[in-house]
Each structure stands twice: as structure tokens, then as C-alpha cells.
Structure 1
């Protein structure tokens, strides 16, 4: 963790004068008027275990939605698009390394559900979650379920070029069953639960009990269940989700995440199975590995590679 500490300090020093990308802000996660809408009628009762039939992978395959995805080639490293020289895209090896380290950790502690979050918006957590799931299923007979649990700013459906409804929020509200919200696209053994319909009470839905039930029923069917959550500092959703997961992966962006915010997020998850930090957008001369991060940088008017 000493290298992470040093890099975060350097990121804080570099942050001055850099413009934040035009993306979600903490204010976007606190929608005006959301707190004034009634909550009780929108949070369904949790089904009892006796009411839920046994769930198998064959049943999931038969009943999930088969969707023709059109993944965004700029940010999905493991699709058909390769570099101009025909080689693998920049950053693929770094995600393989991350995958290997997670498996090494799993040898020492049970870990099947992994929460990917960040301190603030626009740190790169969604890209990390999406590419981590893709690199996992590239191994023989490995299965991964990717869940968009950022109900305040759902983005995973855009990364994969698919629909966002029905999705997680629809299941949590009781408007859809657990199988109808699961999508299967062109990636073998990769499944997706998108964010779903817009809701004004994400935290209440997440804590209603149905979220925990969903993870409990889905986890045995997959090698990994990866959740993309809201950033940890502006709202409480990530903390609630962390209590339901086996591990937490924190994404921090160099030259953008304030050092005190990164420290605050680390402290938040210190007792909630924080397994590591992905330091994003670090300059190569700093001695850290890099992965492709042109998408967010492109939106802020800068082209090039980002770093892990």
C-alpha cells in the first residue's frame, strides 16, 4: 500500500489546475426533490425463501434475455476490435494481472461478489468493472455476472450498447423477476443486469432486502459477480452494497481525486473487505502499469492513454 500512498500524494500535487471531465458530479447523485417523494409504497416486501424456486444456471440461460449488444470499442478492451497493428489493445495485460491478483486473494479468503466503486464520480470505476468482467470470462468456462448497481447514474448499458430496462431497479421494486432482468450478449459466459428504470429512492431499494436476496441466489451460479456502484463519498449506496459483498475494489484517479477524499473512501471500506485500490491515469514515468482510458479523457478534450 506504500506505492498507493505515494501515488495518491503525487496525484494530489498534480491535481491543481486540471479541469474535471464533463461527467457526473456529486450533485447529480442528489436529485432535487428526490427526498420528498414517498418511499414506503415503492419498496416491495422481500420474498420468503420458500416462495423462490431453486435457481440453476440452465434455468438462467433459458429465461434470461438474449440481446444483441453493440459494445463501445473505445472502452471495452476485449471485443473484436484490436490495435492498428493487429495486436491486443493497450491495457489488456494490466487487466489480466488484476484478474490474477484477485484469484490469488481468493485462495486465502472466500470471494465471489466484488464491489467496484470510487471516491467521486468520473474516476473510471464503470470501465474497470466492465473490463474486469470481460477478462474473467476469457478464461475457459469462467462465468461472470456484471450488475449495474449505480441506480443514480447507470452507465453500463451504454458501455455494452444495450437497453437499460428492465434492470436492477425494476427487480428491486418488484416490477420484474430476477431472471427477466438478466441479459446475455455476444460475450460467452458474460451476463449483465443493467440499472433499470429511474428511481428516486435508490438507497431504500438497495437496503430493502431484495438486493441481498438477488446476490445470494445469483452468486452460486457464477465464478464472479461484479457490481458497479455509485461513488462512495456523495451517497451511502456503496457502503450499503459493500456490506453484501465479499470484497471491495476502490478506483482512484490520479491528478483528479483529492487526497483527502481517497483517504476518506479507504477508511469507509477499511472494515468492509477492501481488497485493493486501482490507481487510474498515472503517468508512465511514475513506474506504474497503464490501461486504456481514452474514453473519459476524450470527453474532457484530452486524447491518449490512461493509467492503472
Structure 2
């Protein structure tokens, strides 16, 4: 692992959790006694644990900014579920703030109205107390608020920093859902106000160059990690997702397990292979080959 990877580690990869069109989808239930996506919930707990570990090494991580290089990377899903994971901490409450005034989305996860919210505090002068909403035990929410003409000016004013300083007195953690880093200036300003930042990237579509550009823009020291979203590789499916970038032995073990697994072909592929071998055979006719075992039998023997 080189120095750059240590400074910008890969956080737990996240498999799809649904589209973000309401409370029932896009949210991972963590510990409320209801039906849960256990694997996804565990990944967010690991992400929370890694942020807590960073706090021991780099100081308090009270304010976490979550962004992405480009739109539609799933940053709001990560922001919401990370805040909910923090919200289970009995030491104090967590606050989630939708700082994406250009395309607000967080309120939909909790079936809340968009306004009043952050913009109403920063632009219209409403009190913080008037826009706070308790959405879960241990978790409060400030939505994006009323639409504004110039979102950059609204976010980048001194009042944003003053507001966060006041909120830090009352919350154990504050999670900021920020706009994409390469599309506007707000994430750069918010990352300076935050303790650290997370960059969310879809593993199957985001160009590495774009992620590197986002890291370069925000600064490596400010980045706590890169979250790979919607990752369906074999390593993640076998439970080694939580150690990606931290424990190379676990990854090597997972890959070795995959390499030892017998290659299973479909019936059509097996028949095609037998026909091809027959027509290529030269010399005296070979003895009939042994019957091909079924897929279930082959797998059973390998076990």
C-alpha cells in the first residue's frame, strides 16, 4: 500500500440499497427492531467505526462532509445512513444537514418537507431551533430549505461557520450532505469547516481521474476516505469489504478462496466443448470419456 492510499483510504464498499425515493427505499435499517439489510447495515457500522478510529489518530471528527466527484454517485444515501449509524451512539445525538441547495434530496428519505431549512437560516434569518426536526431517536435533521437564487453565496457566507460552531456544542456528530465537488464551489468551503470529508464514487462507472481531481481539489489531508458505492465484486460478497485498504491478508484470502472454486459451465458450454474436442481428436479413437458430473455433484465434491 503506497503513501497516497494511506492518506486517502478506501472505506467499506457498499452494495445497492435501493433508489432514494422515500423512507422505505434507500435507507438501511440499523437497530430499530425491524427487518434489516444486515450486510449493508454492517457496512455503515464499519464506516462509522473507521471514522471513530480516525478521530483517535487525527483528532475529533465531529463534522463530516460527504460529497462526490460528479452527480448521481449515491452520496445522499451514504450521508443519510452514516448519520443514522452515528445516531445509534448513546454518547450523544447526531445532526444531518442537507447542504445541497442546488438539488436537495435528503428530506425525501424521511418523508419531510424541504422547507423551512438551512437556506431559511442563512438567508432569511430564521432561528436554528425553528428548522430542527427530530426524525429518529438520536438523529435530528435540517433540510435544505427554500430555493435560493445563489446557493454558493448562501453557503459560503460567514454565517455557515458560526452556525456549525453553535451546533457542535449540542451534537456528538454532524453530517453534511454536500453537492458534487467538481460541479460547484460549496464543497470546498464546507470541507474547510468540516473535520474531514468522504468522497462517494460508484465502482462501476466513476472515472478514476474524476475522483483524483476531487481529492486534489479538497486536499488529501481533508479526505477521511473514498466510499465505493454499488460494488458487487466477489470480495465484498464474502465479507471482506470492511477491510479493503486496511488488511491485505483478508483480501488475499478471499481471492484465494475464489481461485480454488471449481469452474462451473452450463450444459450448453459443456456440450460445445465435448463436440469441439471430438472433431480435433487425431489418431486412434480414444476411449469414451467418463460421464460429466452434474454441477451440484461437482460443487459437492469440492466442498
TM-score, normalised by the number of residues in structure 2 = 0.68
Match of 1:207 in 2: 156
Distance in 2 (CA, whole Å) between partners of 1:131 and 1:282 is 17
Match of 1:289 in 2: 241
Matched, 1:197 2:156: no
Deviation at 1:88, TM superposition (A): 4.7
Deviation at 1:175, TM superposition (A): 3.8
Residue 123 of structure 2, aligned match among 173, 180, 194: 173
Query: Is the 1:219–1:225 Cα contact (8 Å) retained in structure 2?
Result: yes
User: Which runs of structure 1 show a deviation greater than 4 angstroms over 4 or more consecutive aligned residues?
Assistant: 79-83
Residue 23 of structure 2, aligned match among 32, 57, 72: 72
Deviation at 1:147, TM superposition (A): 0.2
Match of 2:215 in 1: 266
Distance in 2 (CA, whole Å) between partners of 1:265 and 1:220 is 30
Matched, 1:222 2:171: yes
SS in 2 for 1:221: coil
Distance in 2 (CA, whole Å) between partners of 1:82 and 1:177 is 35
Question: Bigger radius of gyration, 1 or 2?
Answer: 2
Distance in 2 (CA, whole Å) between partners of 1:100 and 1:91 is 14
Distance in 1 (CA, whole Å) between partners of 2:22 and 2:29 is 10
**CA displacement 1:261-288 (0-9 Å, x = unmatched):** 1110111122551111101112231546
Higher helix share: 2
SS in 2 for 1:220: coil
Is there any run of 5+ residues in structure 1 with no aligned partner, and where? 6-21, 24-69, 291-308
Deviation at 1:138, TM superposition (A): 1.5
Residue 237 of structure 1, aligned match among 165, 186, 191: 186
Deviation at 1:219, TM superposition (A): 1.0
Distance in 1 (CA, whole Å) between partners of 2:64 and 2:82 is 11
**CA displacement 1:27-71 (0-9 Å, x = unmatched):** xxxxxxxxxxxxxxxxxxxxxxxxxxxxxxxxxxxxxxxxxxx96
Matched, 1:103 2:52: yes
Distance in 1 (CA, whole Å) between partners of 2:133 and 2:117 is 9
Match of 2:87 in 1: 137
Deviation at 1:89, TM superposition (A): 3.8
Query: Is the 1:144–1:225 Cα contact (8 Å) retained in structure 2?
Result: yes
Distance in 2 (CA, whole Å) between partners of 1:201 and 1:272 is 29
Distance in 1 (CA, whole Å) between partners of 2:148 and 2:28 is 31
TM-score, normalised by the number of residues in structure 1 = 0.67
Query: Is the 1:114–1:249 Cα contact (8 Å) retained in structure 2?
Result: yes
Distance in 2 (CA, whole Å) between partners of 1:144 and 1:152 is 24
Distance in 1 (CA, whole Å) between partners of 2:188 and 2:146 is 22
Relative to structure 1, the CA distance from residue 272 to residue 178 in structure 2 (aligned partners, 3 Å threshold; closer, same or farther) is farther
Deviation at 1:90, TM superposition (A): 3.5
Is there any run of 5+ residues in structure 2 with no aligned partner, and where? 6-18, 243-303
